């Protein structure tokens, strides 16, 4: 197991429904999106995807031309917010650093396919393995 830097994963409490279902997952990007004014936007939230999100992106002409574009559209549809940006659209997703895109792809997969945001990590000093919540439930929690 490789050491994982989780210092960027601490965020506010997640959104839940009245029934206690967690539907929105806050996050902090490792690097952040840099807007046209040079401001860095790192804190955001992603919601659970719906069947409509998955289906409508599959039939989008941009995905038919380039299947790799599916990731951009799924993230565009499920990212609720990113910093103080008024909207998170395809141009924002396309402008992310590769490490942030990989982080968001992993978060999307974890919350939508595995049902959790935990990752197994190991302490670089002693090698002890433990789980951390990469969405960041709170300070010092895992």
pLDDT of residue 22: 82
Question: Domain residues for 78?
Answer: 22-112
> Is residue 24 within 8 Å of residue 94, measured between CB atoms?
no
Average pLDDT of every residue of the chain? 81
Q: Is 128 within the bounds of a domain?
A: no
CA distance 120 to 118: 7
Q: Is residue 58 part of a domain?
A: yes
Regions in the chain scoring below 70 on pLDDT: 1-20, 115-121, 130-142
118 lies in a domain? no
Residue 33 is assigned to a structural domain of this protein: yes
Give the model's pLDDT for residue 6: 40
Q: How many Å apart are CA 121 and CA 123, to the nearest integer?
A: 7
Count the domains in the chain.
Answer: 1
**pTM exceeds 0.85, yes or no:** no
- Closest by CA to 44, choosing from 3, 112, 93, 94, is 93
Structural domain contains residue 95: yes
Task: Report yes or no on 88 lying in a domain.
Answer: yes
Quick check: is 135 in a domain? no
The residues, ordered by sequence, that sit 6+ positions from 114 with a Cβ below 8 Å of its Cβ are: none
CB under 8 Å, gap of 24 or more: what pairs does 138-142 form?
A: 138/10, 138/13, 139/10
Does some domain include residue 36?
Answer: yes
Largest CA distance in the chain: 50
């Amino acid at each position: 197991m490789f050491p994982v830097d989780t210092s960027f994963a601490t965020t506010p409490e997640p959104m839940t429904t009245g029934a206690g279902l967690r539907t929105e997952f806050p996050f902090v990007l490792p690097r952040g999106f840099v807007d046209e004014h040079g401001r860095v936007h790192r804190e955001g939230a992603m919601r659970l995807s719906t069947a409509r999100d998955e289906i409508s992106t599959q039939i989008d002409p941009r995905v038919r031309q380039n299947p790799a574009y599916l990731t951009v559209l799924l993230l565009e549809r499920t990212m609720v917010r990113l910093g103080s940006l008024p909207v998170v659209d395809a141009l924002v997703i396309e402008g992310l650093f590769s490490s942030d895109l990989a982080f968001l792809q992993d978060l999307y997969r974890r919350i939508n396919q595995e049902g959790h945001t935990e990752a197994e990590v190991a302490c670089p000093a002693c090698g002890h393995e433990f789980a951390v919540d990469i969405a960041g439930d709170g300070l010092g929690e895992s």
